[in-house]
Structure 1
Amino acid sequence: MFTGLVEGIGKIISLQPYRGGLLAEISASFSLKDTDVGDSIAVDGICLTITEIKGSTFKAHISPETLNKTTLRYKNSGDFVNLERALKFGDRLGGHLVSGHVDGIGKIVSITPIEDFWKLVVEIPSEFTPYLVKKGSIAIDGVSLTINDFKNNLLEFMLVPHTLKVTTLCLKKPGDLVNIEIDMIAKMVYKWLSPYLESLESSKRALTLEFLKEHGFL
């Protein structure tokens, strides 16, 4: 489990074929002194397992499924990635709960500088729009961001100077692809409510406090 608060930027040293997948070697910009083999680490929002550590460099296997679902299949040696080690119990949860299980790939539509800030617009697969709410959270390349606004499947964010300083989002340009992870709580709530929402739609009833009480939600 992660928070979407990136610890630092890593650099891909190598990507070697490994039994249908890849073996990645990545150099971290922070110390891995208290990190062990077998620990989880988010690489551009993708949960990987560390298999080897040498100084500030680690290795991790990338499965065929991960290559199929994420932007890692487009990465090359020398590319930069966001890194975050797993959350410890008792740590501050400054972002939101992020599993590191990417839902899909989005595309950057536009970047508009506003003095020291950036307005970022990202297009995501339309299948994820039922989970979106204004001021809700979503992970973009492992970075916890707040949805300022959205229209259909176009999401608008405002990136603060600190985010631009400590993540790879400052390197992005229109057309770049990014990993998307929808807020897991939003997905759970939608899954639980969807049968009732379908019932409401068919009966032309409204979602009211009385309806929620009737079905055990309050």
Structure 2
Amino acid sequence: MFTGIVAEAGEVRRVEDSDGGRRLTIAADKALSDVEHGASISVNGACLTVERFDNRTFEVFLAEETLAKTYLDEVVEGDTVNLERALRADARLDGHFVQGHVDTTTEVVDVRQVGEDWEYEFAIPEGYGQYIVNKGSVALDGISLTVAEKGEDTFTVAIIPTTRDVTNLSEKEPGDLIHLEVDVLAKYAEQLLAE
């Protein structure tokens, strides 16, 4: 479980593809504090398990299921990825409950600067519109964000300079893919009402 409060943006240092999946080596700083073998780290919103690490990098393996649900099969050396350590039971919950289970990918439609802030517009993927509501929570590349406005086919979020500086959003442009995880509470509510 995560909160969607990104600790830092790390850099992909090595990518190794194999028949069974893909291995990434990622450089980090804050995400490596008190890390252990088997620890969970959110990488662009996908919960991944640390297999190896040293004081500068950590290594994760992406199975076929992860590659099918995410755009991590397109990540290359030098790319920036959002990193967050798993939530401790005694920690403050500053964002919202983020599972690290990417639902789907969506596309950046537009990026606009508004004064010192930014507005990002994203396509609503087919089958996910009912989970996106005005002032509701979404996780985009692992970042806990509030829906500013929902349209028929798109939704927007407002980004403050700090969020843009700390995350990979500063590199996102129209046409780029981004991971979407909708609020798990909405999915539970839908299932309970259906029963």
Equivalence map 1:174-213=2 (5 Å): 174-195=174-195
Q: How much is the aligned-residue C-alpha RMSD, in angstroms? A: 1.1
Q: What does the per-residue CA deviation read over 1:47-99, in whole Å, with 9 as the maximum and x for residues that have no partner?
A: 00000111120001100111111010111011000000000001010000000
Contact kept? 1:31, 1:56, Cα under 8 Å: no
Tell me what 2:23 maps to. 23
The 2-side partners of 1:112 and 1:180 are apart by: 20
Contact kept? 1:50, 1:60, Cα under 8 Å: yes
Equivalence map 1:85-100=2 (5 Å): 85-100=85-100
Indicate how the Cα distance of structure 1 residues 80 and 192 shifts in structure 2: closer, same or farther if over 3 A, else same: same
Tell me what 2:166 maps to. 166
Normalization by structure 2: what TM-score?
A: 0.97
- Residue 30 of structure 1, CA deviation: 2.4
Q: What is the aligned length?
A: 195
Equivalence map 1:55-94=2 (5 Å): 55-94=55-94
Q: What does the per-residue CA deviation read over 1:114-171, in whole Å, with 9 as the maximum and x for residues that have no partner?
A: 1211111001312011112210000000000000111123111110111111111011
Tell me what 2:52 maps to. 52
Q: Give percent identity, aligned residues only.
A: 39
Where relative contact order (Cα < 8 A, 6+ residues apart) is larger, the structure is 2
Task: Point out the structure with the larger strand share.
Answer: 2
User: 3-state SS of the aligned residue for 1:107?
Assistant: strand
Normalization by structure 1: what TM-score?
A: 0.87
Q: Which runs of 4+ in 1 moved over 2 A?
A: none
Tell me what 1:149 maps to. 149
Max Rg structure: 1
Indicate how the Cα distance of structure 1 residues 157 and 36 shifts in structure 2: closer, same or farther if over 3 A, else same: same
Mind listing any 5+ residue stretches in structure 1 that lack a counterpart?
A: 196-218
Mind listing any 5+ residue stretches in structure 2 that lack a counterpart?
A: none
- Matching residue's letter, 1:22: R
